[in-house]
Amino acid sequence: MNTSRHGKIARLPKAVREELNRRLADGATGRSLVEWLNAQPEVQALIDSEFAGHPIREQNLSQWKSGGYRDWLHQQEALELMASLHESTGELAGEKTRPPMSEVLAGWLAARYSVATREIAETGGEEGWKLLRQMCADVAKLRRMDQQAERLALERERIQLQRDELELERERFDAEYQPEPDPWWQDCSLQERIAWARLPQNLERICEETTEEEAVEEDHLRDRLKDREQDRSSDWSDAERIAWARLPENLRKIYYAGLTREEQDRYVRRILNHETEEDRAYFARVEGTREEAASGTTPASALDPTPRPETTTAGPPQSKGAR
């Protein structure tokens, strides 16, 4: 929308106004243009919503011709002049790419002064000296403009060189300090495997509840882990790593270090869905103690002393079948 004018035509979509201006420039009559405008869906919608259904008339077109259309003509003339200057300046300089408009204007001005030197040479007497002094002052300004342009060009080159050096430095850094790929699980030491298992996101999955079916499936998976230690055809899958971490001897190292061996065995049997009646009674007592502590009837020191790794706040793993 044209924000500088507020008539009916000025409020039409830009595409419609551009087409109208082109038709006016081609010499279309006012009546044909009004009929064409009122037949456009965009125009009809605007007329109905903002002008109470009153169509565009030739009077509106006449107002547009003396306002918006005239502005459009001036703009077209300026664009044509710029294109002509670009073309002529490019031919003189032998350039294939378009230079900035400021350089185009400077080149055009220099060419005009070159032509003016012939007129000054042909003008004699005081008038010739007056023109020459005026031209000298103008040429001095042009020279300062040329010097400024050269300084800007040198500054651009300096900045580009700095960018290129920075890019080369970045590429060199990436080549020299490229991170090592994660080692295969078979190549990891026991300490590295335990460190992986104690990451919060991994420990949470290791300690999550399992159903009886999931526990049976994991038992079969654990039976095949010994063969996987010698298999170099592929790295261990995520499920195989979790199954390794849930082996009783590994669970003790990962989560239950610090408990007595009997307490460790209870927690291991619980996560593997192999709880005994004695285990269930033990955990019932532990959970009852926790509930009493939560209600304020039992001191916190009487709670189950299960240690918690610093890397997680997850509780001891449980199986759904054990509940």
- pLDDT for the residue 139: 73
Residue 52 vs residues 33, 37, 44, 45: alpha-carbon distances, Å: 21, 16, 11, 10
Q: Is the pTM of this model over 0.85?
A: no
Within-domain flag for 276:
yes
- C-beta separation of 85 from 108 below 8 A: yes
Q: Total domain count for the chain?
A: 3
Average pLDDT over the chain, rounded to an integer: 75
The arithmetic mean of pLDDT across residues 198-221, rounded, is 77
Distance CA 20, CA 237 (A): 68
Q: Is 298 helix (H, G, I), strand (E, B) or coil?
A: coil
Do the domain assignments include residue 14? yes
Region at 296 (left for phi over 0; alpha for psi -120 to 50; beta for the rest):
left
Considering 98, 129, 157, which residue would you say is the last residue of a domain? 98
Whether residues 260 and 193 share a domain: the answer is yes
pLDDT of residue 301 exceeding 60, the answer is no
Range of the domain at 248: 188-322
Q: Say what the pLDDT of residue 273 is.
A: 73
Q: How is residue 80 written in tokens?
A: 């044509």
Instruction: Copy the structure tokens of residue 51.
Output: 């002008």
> Where is average pLDDT lowest: 2-11, 280-289, 308-317?
308-317
Q: Classify residue 315: in a domain, yes or no.
A: yes
Judged against a pLDDT cut of 70, whether residue 179 lies above it is answered with no
Q: Give the confidence band of 56 by pLDDT, cuts at 50, 70, 90.
A: very high
Contacts of 21 (CB under 8 A, 6+ apart): 68, 69, 72, 73
- pLDDT value for 100: 66
Query: Is 124 a domain residue?
Result: yes
pLDDT exceeds cutoff 60 at 189:
yes
In a domain, 111, yes or no: yes
On whether the CB atoms of residues 6 and 67 are closer than 8 A, the answer is no
Residue 44, judged by CB atoms within 10 A of its CB (0-12, 13-18, 19+), counts as middle
195 shares its domain with 258: yes
Q: Does 4 fall in a domain?
A: no
- Model pLDDT, residue 310: 40
Position 2 in a domain: no
